[in-house]
């Protein structure tokens, strides 16, 4: 628990930088699972600073993003492709071919096969060394909404009405928010060797308590993280308000 989000974000960025440097020294790639939304922005800003000022290179980094709206063209302002380039990728030396973000432009009949291939690509890259997560007020991680099973794989899902309400701020009107998304599954996320969940602000306090201290249940998909051997929950004092 950090007093302010900035300090927590800096700690997480430092941990990611350490992982990337250790892997580079061994001549290996660091495989990072990345999130979008407001929660990781501070982490990405600090990673950019470390790149500019402290020589942190992303040349050996491979990334897999958690999710993308469906349908969603990559050049739309609301796309997660646009977000990731604006918030991180355009400011560091990552190789374009090492970036993976679910493709929101696929015809629906190709989605199933594409999602299977996405999980296989993660495995072929050696598996996720570290998965960064935010949490939605529904208890979603990625876009695994209530009802998602612990074994779920990357797939096309329907967004929960509360998630659509929360996304409306990015789409001007609630009616413009896509009803569906492609997301890594809970099972995909649980295979990561290390997981870091970020939550900032009082709006996350209730769901954070249910996630960390509540029953493990499909109704709060983030609660499955209680069963992961190496997970850190990094929060500010406001998100921690309801923890006992
Ligand atoms: C984003 C994602 C979502 C968000 C969550 C929290 O890639 O997978 O699970 O992490 O909706 O969003 P923010 O951080 O905007 O509160």
Crossing angle of helices 41-54 and 5-25, in 10° steps, is: 50
Residue 243 lies in a domain: no
Q: What is the per-residue pLDDT for 53? A: 98
Give me the CATH number covering residue 207.
3.40.50.1360
Question: What is the Å distance from ligand 1's center to 134 Cα?
Answer: 5
Long-range contacts of 73-80 (CB under 8 A, 24+ apart): 73/104, 73/105, 74/101, 74/104, 74/105, 78/170, 78/171, 79/104, 80/36, 80/104
Q: What is the per-residue pLDDT for 215? A: 98
Token pair, residue 11, equals 């700690």
DSSP-derived 3-state class of residue 80? helix
Q: What is the per-residue pLDDT for 50? A: 99
CA distance 115 to 41: 26
ipTM of the complex: 0.99
Its sign, for the CA torsion 104, 93, 63, 42, is negative
CB-ligand 1 contact for 134 (6 Å cutoff): yes
Residue 201 lies in a domain: yes
Q: What is the per-residue pLDDT for 121? A: 98
Give the helix, strand, coil percentages of the chain, each rounded to 5.
40, 20, 40
User: Closest Cα to atom 1, ligand 1: which residue?
Assistant: 36
The pTM assigned to this predicted structure is 0.98
Q: What is the per-residue pLDDT for 63? A: 99
Contact (Cβ atoms closer than 8 angstroms) between residue 88 and residue 48: yes
User: Which is catalytic among the residues 76, 123, 145, 210?
Assistant: 145
Question: What is the Å distance from ligand 1's center to 135 Cα?
Answer: 5
User: Closest Cα to atom 2, ligand 1: which residue?
Assistant: 142
Residue 228 lies in a domain: yes
Residue 214 lies in a domain: yes
* Domain, as residue range, for 224: 5-235
The pLDDT averaged over each successive group of 10 residues in the chain (244 residues) is: 98 98 98 99 99 98 99 98 98 99 98 99 98 98 98 98 98 97 99 98 98 98 98 98 97
3-state SS record for 184-231: CCHHHHHCCCCEEEEECCHHHHHHHHHHHHCCCECCEHHHHHHHCCCE
Q: What is the per-residue pLDDT for 20? A: 98
Question: What is the Å distance from ligand 1's center to 36 Cα?
Answer: 6
Q: What is the per-residue pLDDT for 83? A: 98
Token pair, residue 219, equals 């109704």
Token pair, residue 30, equals 């660091």
Q: What is the per-residue pLDDT for 243? A: 98
CA distance 134 to 23: 25
Residue 240 lies in a domain: no
CB-ligand 1 contact for 43 (6 Å cutoff): no
Q: What is the per-residue pLDDT for 157? A: 99
Residue 242 lies in a domain: no
Q: What is the per-residue pLDDT for 154? A: 99
Question: What is the Å distance from ligand 1's center to 37 Cα?
Answer: 5
From the alpha carbon of 34, which atom of ligand 1 is closest?
7
Q: What is the per-residue pLDDT for 198? A: 99
Residue 241 lies in a domain: no
Residue 182 lies in a domain: yes
Q: How many domains does the chain have?
A: 1
Instruction: Note if 145 is an active site residue.
Output: yes
């Amino acid at each position: 628990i950090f007093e302010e989000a900035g300090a927590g974000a800096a700690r997480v960025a430092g941990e990611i930088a350490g992982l990337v440097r250790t892997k580079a020294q061994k001549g290996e790639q660091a495989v990072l699972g990345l999130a979008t939304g407001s929660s990781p922005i501070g982490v990405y800003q600090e990673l950019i600073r470390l790149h500019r000022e402290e020589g942190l290179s992303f040349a050996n980094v491979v990334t897999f993003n958690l999710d993308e709206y469906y349908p969603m063209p990559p050049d739309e302002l609301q796309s997660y492709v646009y977000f990731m380039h604006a918030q991180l990728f355009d400011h560091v030396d990552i190789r374009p071919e090492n970036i993976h973000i679910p493709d929101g432009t696929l015809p629906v009949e190709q989605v199933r096969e594409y999602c299977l291939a996405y999980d296989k690509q993660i495995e072929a890259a050696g598996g996720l060394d570290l998965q960064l997560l935010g949490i939605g007020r529904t208890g979603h991680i990625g876009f695994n909404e209530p009802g998602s099973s612990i074994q779920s794989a990357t797939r096309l899902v329907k967004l929960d009405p509360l998630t659509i309400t929360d996304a409306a701020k990015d789409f001007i009107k609630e009616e413009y928010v896509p009803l569906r998304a492609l997301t890594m599954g809970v099972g995909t996320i649980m295979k990561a060797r290390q997981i870091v969940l970020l939550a900032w602000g009082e709006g996350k306090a209730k769901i954070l308590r249910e996630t960390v201290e509540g029953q493990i249940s499909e109704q709060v998909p983030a609660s499955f993280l209680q069963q992961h051997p190496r997970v850190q929950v990094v929060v500010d004092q406001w998100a921690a308000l309801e923890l006992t």
